[in-house]
């Protein structure tokens, strides 16, 4: 019989698929690493088990304990999967820009959520960082993984994501592109890849306005990437270049990935592919770019895949005349 002992054994070993349509006019091979095939639906499943293992080992989390974390959703799902297996309670703090679908997923896994305003400074008592800090002091036996500073985040990508990319490309990868949120994905896997071949270019994809590309953290709409501060999970020494893309560019590519490549992915995947396309534009045919697509698109059906939402932000032209929906009533 072939089966996994628990769902956690299904984390990682995600496949690479070649992009064939959005790459029109590009000679290099662009391979997408499909992280939505992790059991919790994102790359964040990878960091959760390693973070909780370490906390138990270090005595920071004991039976009956509660995991409290500010998370845009995906880290919460990963942590909830592990918490279920080990009997911990989970309380997640989310900024209000996180879609309702994503919130409901956390509730479905049995977690509790607290929603905070996006448009306040990180030092405000209402910010999602401050609220989570307060909850940690108020809840007995609480542990805050803090994915922004926890070294086990980047380490999990050093131990899994990086080796998988090296193995699956037979060491032929020349460029690695990933969106930067906490920085764990780019720093961990990038470090591993550079140790195998120091010539590999590591490229971070950042939403315009975020600190990594020289901004101040001005609000942008792509979720899970970009920051308004510099987390210690991000190791700038690993990253050769940061490429910024606008929300409009990221969302356009996100929609094309679904329609043309059959990849229903989130906006940060569009951001990462947008950066990969910019990086590969004038590169020759022997270049192999691996771009990591962090999560699936089902959590964003009411946003990037909703024409009305897209129009309300000017990402699609205003409606002209009747739509199919109007015609069929």
- Taking CB under 6 A as the criterion, the residue among 185, 210, 250, 254 binding ligand PMP is 185
**Residue nearer to ligand PMP on the CB measure, 174 or 268:** 268
- Taking CB under 6 A as the criterion, the residue among 70, 207, 266, 296 binding ligand PMP is 266
**Residue nearer to ligand PMP on the CB measure, 223 or 247:** 223
x/- track of binding to ligand PMP for residues 277-306 (CB under 6 A) = -----------------xx-----------
Q: At closest approach, how far in Å is the CB of 251 from ligand PMP?
A: 13
Q: Does 207 bind ligand PMP (CB under 6 A)?
A: no
Residue 195 backbone phi and psi in degrees, to 5: -65, -30
**Residue nearer to ligand PMP on the CB measure, 211 or 287:** 211
Q: Does 180 bind ligand PMP (CB under 6 A)?
A: yes
**Residue nearer to ligand PMP on the CB measure, 127 or 287:** 127
44 a catalytic residue: yes
Cα 157 to the chain's mean position, in Å?
12
CA angle 301, 47, 139 (to 5 degrees): 90
Residue number closest to ligand PMP, CB atom:
224
- Taking CB under 6 A as the criterion, the residue among 29, 66, 74, 156 binding ligand PMP is 74
**Residue nearer to ligand PMP on the CB measure, 65 or 226:** 226
Q: At closest approach, how far in Å is the CB of 250 from ligand PMP?
A: 11
**Residue nearer to ligand PMP on the CB measure, 72 or 245:** 72
Q: At closest approach, how far in Å is the CB of 25 from ligand PMP?
A: 26
- Taking CB under 6 A as the criterion, the residue among 95, 145, 162, 183 binding ligand PMP is 183
Catalytic residue among 2, 18, 33, 44: 44
β-strand partners of 116: 95
- Residue 91 makes CB contacts below 8 A (sequence gap 6+) with 66, 67, 68, 69, 111, 112, 113, 114, 135, 139, 142
Q: At closest approach, how far in Å is the CB of 54 from ligand PMP?
A: 17
Rg of the chain over CA atoms, in angstroms? 20
Q: Does 150 bind ligand PMP (CB under 6 A)?
A: no
x/- track of binding to ligand PMP for residues 41-60 (CB under 6 A) = -x-x----------------
Compute the distance between CA of residue 19 and CA of residue 266 in angstroms, rounded to an integer: 16
Dihedral sign for Cα 130, 94, 54, 239, please. negative
Residue 167 backbone phi and psi in degrees, to 5: -65, -50
Q: According to CB under 6 A, which residues from 75 to 114 bind ligand PMP?
A: none
- Taking CB under 6 A as the criterion, the residue among 132, 245, 268, 274 binding ligand PMP is 268
**Residue nearer to ligand PMP on the CB measure, 150 or 174:** 150
Instruction: Give the residues lining the site for ligand PMP (CB under 6 A).
Output: 42, 44, 72, 74, 179-185, 223-225, 266, 268, 294-295
Residues belonging to the active site = 44
């Amino acid at each position: 019989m072939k089966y996994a002992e628990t769902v956690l054994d299904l984390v990682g070993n995600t496949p690479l698929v070649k992009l064939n349509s959005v790459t029109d006019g590009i000679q290099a091979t662009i391979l997408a690493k499909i992280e939505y095939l992790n059991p919790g639906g994102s790359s964040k499943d990878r960091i959760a088990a390693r973070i909780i293992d370490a906390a138990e080992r270090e005595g920071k989390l004991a039976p009956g304990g509660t995991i409290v974390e500010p998370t845009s959703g995906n880290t919460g799902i990963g942590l909830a999967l592990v918490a279920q297996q080990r009997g911990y309670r989970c309380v997640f703090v989310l900024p209000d820009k996180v879609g309702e679908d994503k919130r409901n997923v956390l509730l479905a896994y049995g977690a509790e959520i607290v929603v905070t305003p996006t448009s306040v400074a990180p030092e405000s008592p209402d910010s999602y960082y401050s609220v989570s800090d307060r909850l940690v002091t108020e809840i007995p036996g609480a542990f805050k993984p803090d994915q922004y500073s926890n070294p086990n985040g980047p380490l999990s990508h050093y131990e899994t994501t990086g080796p998988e990319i090296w193995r699956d490309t037979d060491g032929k990868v020349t460029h690695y592109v990933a969106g930067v949120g906490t920085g764990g994905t780019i720093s961990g896997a990038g470090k591993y890849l550079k140790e195998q071949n120091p010539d590999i270019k590591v490229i971070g994809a950042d939403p315009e306005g975020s600190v990594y590309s020289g901004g101040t953290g001005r609000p942008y709409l792509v979720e899970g990437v970009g920051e308004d501060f510099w987390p210690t999970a991000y190791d700038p020494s690993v990253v050769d270049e940061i490429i910024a893309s606008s929300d409009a560019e990221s969302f356009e590519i996100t929609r094309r990935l679904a329609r043309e490549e059959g990849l229903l992915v989130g906006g940060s995947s569009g951001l990462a592919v947008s950066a990969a396309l910019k990086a590969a534009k004038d590169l020759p045919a022997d270049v192999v770019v691996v771009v990591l697509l962090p999560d699936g698109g089902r959590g964003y059906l009411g946003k990037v895949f909703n024409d009305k939402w897209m129009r309300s932000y000017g990402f699609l032209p205003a409606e002209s005349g009747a739509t199919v929906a109007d015609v069929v009533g």
